[in-house]
Amino acid sequence: MKTQRQPIVVVFLTAIMIMLTAFSCRDWLSVTPNSQIRADEQFESESGFKNALTGVYVGMTSTDSYAKDLSWNMVDILSRQYAPFTSGADYYDLQEYEYGTTFAAGRIDAVWQKSYNTIADINNILEYLEENREVLDDYDHDIIKGELLGLRAFLHFDLLRLFGYGNLEERAGLMSEAAVPYVTDYSKEIPPRRSYEETFRLLNEDLEEGLELLQSDPIYEDPDRSDEYENTIGEEDFYDNRKVRMNYYALRALQARALLWQGGMEHMNSARRAAEEVISDGPAELIDGQTYDVGSDPILSPEVLFSLDVNGFEDIVNPLLTATDVTDYDALYLSTETTNELYETDNVNVGPPDIRYNSLLDDQSLGYVSVKLLQSDNTAIPSRNILPLIKMPEMYYIAAEYYLNNGELQPAINYLNRVRTSRGIIEEIPDDADAETVEEELYKEYRKEYVSEGQLFFFYKRWGVPSIPGLSESVNADDDIYVLPYPDSESIFR
């Protein structure tokens, strides 16, 4: 498959072209006659739709979105995986879950606004997609719409994970409570807050329709495709490198993630089926930690299902992922004590051979720095400027969790051991391990795997972990910590 990407100039022009929305506490969206004229012109051609879709991905690479705060920075700071900040650090208040301070409230508001701005862009394109249906052939229409629906689901789900409740399996009564707005129209009207049950219904509808449409995705193997398809899609550079776009298997993986969040064995079983489809049929696979060149490809690109190409990523990530200067109050690194405990370095068959310890961490003077996202001259093309958002190990963990909860310990152990082996761990979880041991190993795997990947806080929240590692044992991790408050400007939703 080709790996050509959109030229940076085109990407930034696109970003400017589709900035048609303005998020406001007073009127949700401002739609002006001039912006409407620009949109009408934008969507008169196939290239206009494709540029607009590219612009959505550019929007998601904002530092208010996934390039920083919705992944390795703010969300991971909330997980307490990094060494504690002193009070001089910008994100100190967020580390301490003091969400009402000026800085913390500002970051929360920025994430909220940027996410809903991007959703508004998506909804605008979707409306024109149907209004100007004749502009696109069937294949282009289905793939573009499928990507957009998948991205709409992706963004809403992360808003739900941040601003909504977790541990829903044990708190079924919350399903009737109001969740974050799930916005499906491009409108200046303030959208309603629906119940969790209704919000999940809308989320699941976007996932299902997106999956149906993305059966036209080049990444989805279909032996019955016509010559017309190959002539239309197969020759277009626009559909190269599907792993930096919302593709069929990324959406199926997102579906597994979302179903698991909803709780209950029925949802968990559906999540397991989705995860196992990705494992068996998808374009990604676990690396062989014994032979793979981790140093030149620290994101482990063969395992990536969905990622973003972040222009200027080095300037965003490198200044913060460091541990050499005691006066750098905002530095993000793991303490030596945390690292040794996390990776079980006292067990020679577990910690030392684990590539997550010996290759994906850099031992610097103050502690250990995650090198997964660091950019350097040695960073190979598969990793350069790439921010993974969904990777294969999660599918193994989802399958293992289902089997564990269903009382089928052997397949749960097998799935966990497959990830551990790929990471170079010599010691396997024994076949006669009991349920408590398997659950503990699953918990440890999430902690080891998701350093600087923006998922650990959500894992703690989904499980309702009462004591977050790195947080004082006297502090109970409850909804005051796990549920971020809506921005003050959006208090109308309350």
Would you say 360 and 354 are in contact if contact means Cβ atoms under 8 Å apart?
no
Does 14 reside within a domain?
Answer: yes
Structure tokens at 312: 């200027």
Does 2 reside within a domain?
Answer: no
370 sits in the region (left: phi over 0; alpha: psi -120 to 50; else beta) called beta
Is the pLDDT at 226 greater than 90? The verdict is: no
Does 1 reside within a domain?
Answer: no
Q: Once rounded to an integer, what is the mean pLDDT over residues 358-378?
A: 95
Residue with tokens 């222009």: 311
The residue among 65, 217, 210, 206 whose CA lies nearest residue 140 is: 217
Q: Which residue has the higher pLDDT, 36 or 92?
A: 92
Report the C-alpha gap between 34 and 150 in whole angstroms.
Answer: 29
The residue among 330, 405, 338, 408 whose CA lies nearest residue 368 is: 338
Report the C-alpha gap between 92 and 301 in whole angstroms.
Answer: 32
Does 3 reside within a domain?
Answer: no
Name the band, by pLDDT with cuts 50, 70 and 90, for residue 290.
Answer: very high
Report the C-alpha gap between 301 and 439 in whole angstroms.
Answer: 28
Q: What is the CA radius of gyration of the chain?
A: 22
Provide, rounded to the nearest whole percent, the portion of the chain with pLDDT above 70.
91
pLDDT tens sequence across 187-218: 888 889 999 999 999 999 999 999 999 999 99
Its domain, for residue 433, covers 8-493
Q: How many structural domains does the chain have?
A: 1
pLDDT tens sequence across 99-122: 999 999 999 999 999 999 999 999
Does 220 reside within a domain?
Answer: yes
Report the C-alpha gap between 353 and 46 in whole angstroms.
Answer: 51
Amino acid making up residue 417 = N
Does 301 reside within a domain?
Answer: yes
Q: Once rounded to an integer, what is the mean pLDDT over residues 37-54?
A: 90
Is the pLDDT at 445 greater than 50? The verdict is: yes
Name the band, by pLDDT with cuts 50, 70 and 90, for residue 304.
Answer: very high
Q: Once rounded to an integer, what is the mean pLDDT over residues 68-76?
A: 99
pLDDT tens sequence across 132-190: 999 999 999 999 999 999 999 999 999 999 999 999 999 989 999 999 999 999 988 88
What pLDDT sits at residue 2? 35
CATH number for the domain spanning 35: value is 1.25.40.390
pLDDT tens sequence across 243-273: 999 999 999 999 999 999 999 999 999 999 9
Structure tokens at 307: 């990622």
Does 298 reside within a domain?
Answer: yes
